Amino acid sequence: MREPREPARPLPASAPAARVVVRDLVVRFGGTVAVDHLDLDLEPGSFTALLGPSGCGKSTTLGVLAGLQRPDAGSVTIDDVAVLDDPPERRPVGLVLQKPLLFPHLDVARNVGFGLRMAGASRAHERAEVAHMLRRVRLDDLGRRRPHELSGGQEQRVSLARALLRRPRVLLLDEPFSQLDPELRSEMRTLVRRLHDELGVTTLFVTHDRDEAVDVADQVVVLDRGRVVGGGTPEEVYTRPATLATARYFGPVNELSGQVDDGRFTSPDGTLAVPTDAASGPAVLVVRPEALSLSTGAATAHDVAVAVKEVRFAGTHIVVDTALADGTPLRAHLPVGSPVVPGATARLLLPPERCHVLGAQR
């Protein structure tokens, strides 16, 4: 191989993680709005999952960050530098897509070293860095292999190594493991998380799989129809979602309509009273099925009388479908062997600290 034509631009051994700020981003495809006035903040070194159903604009947002998609409006800055006018090759960004997109005419080592070669690194430097990176993704011995000789998981690890070798300051992952089988996926998540922790690169992980998002990320941003509908730590979006859409996206949730007055949520029949800081007015109380428990003592303001409709065994717990007097369904996950039988009545306890009240304006 010839020497590179451009003078060597040495890359820093470990580039500092970058802060990414997206403001008021709009992307339209013809008449449809794919991304609708989106704001996004990625702290330096954070690991954020961009979560949402397919077609919610998450991949488009990623494409804008990587420079593969031009937005119609808005701004993107990486460490306070506006990057929207930069072509992809000039952005400090690494990208791994659903397809590994390895170059079929190059072996694994040459694939991984591609970014360094393009940056004008010397052959010796490239070889050393590639060997180091292949060890990090545990593919030490596969440098001479051709892409078509690899398994799906190996291909995706090569793709990851290739993206990271350039020492990007932002790593963008677009459903990178969705074509792998479940066991391999969790292994790959662990690998990505470990690489993130070692390299400290600001990471944005696009997925439609909430378990994946919760498992791997520090921060979750939920997208729906091109808008941010919720965000926070995985625990926050799960237990205290900002919107009903977010609550529903994170699995089965009970929804009780009611009224907030003076920092207190009350159900229409007045039996339930939960303190809240939501504004006064009509509101919805959301609570996860596993937060509920059977109430055995005297009636309080935190429990409700229900009619048990159906009981199903689910391995670690039983799923109990009940209804309030007004017909509102209420589902509880109770310990196996709990004394509930279909057709009977029971009292369910809604612990106030695990209830979350959403103002009705949402």
Which residues lie near another protein (CB under 8 A)? 66-68, 87-89, 91, 93-95, 97, 99, 101, 103-105, 114-115, 118-119, 162-163, 166
CB contact set of 47 (below 8 Å; sequence gap of 6+): 193, 196, 203, 205, 216, 217, 218, 219
Write the CA distances from 330 to 7, 255, 295, 315, integer angstroms: 68, 8, 15, 20
Write out the two tokens for 190: 């662990």
Nearest distance from residue 199's CB to another protein, in Å? 17
Nearest distance from residue 158's CB to another protein, in Å? 12
- Which of 105, 312 has the CB closer to another protein? 105
Nearest distance from residue 248's CB to another protein, in Å? 33
Identify the bridge partners of residue 173 per DSSP, sorted by sequence position.
96, 205
Nearest partner of 213 among 244, 242, 251, 253, judged by Cα? 251
- Which of 142, 163 has the CB closer to another protein? 163
- Which of 110, 196 has the CB closer to another protein? 110
- Which of 103, 326 has the CB closer to another protein? 103
Nearest partner of 335 among 312, 308, 317, judged by Cα? 317
Distance (Å, whole) CA 36 – CA 227:
5
Write out the two tokens for 135: 């060890």
- Which of 13, 298 has the CB closer to another protein? 13
Nearest distance from residue 244's CB to another protein, in Å? 36
Nearest distance from residue 64's CB to another protein, in Å? 13
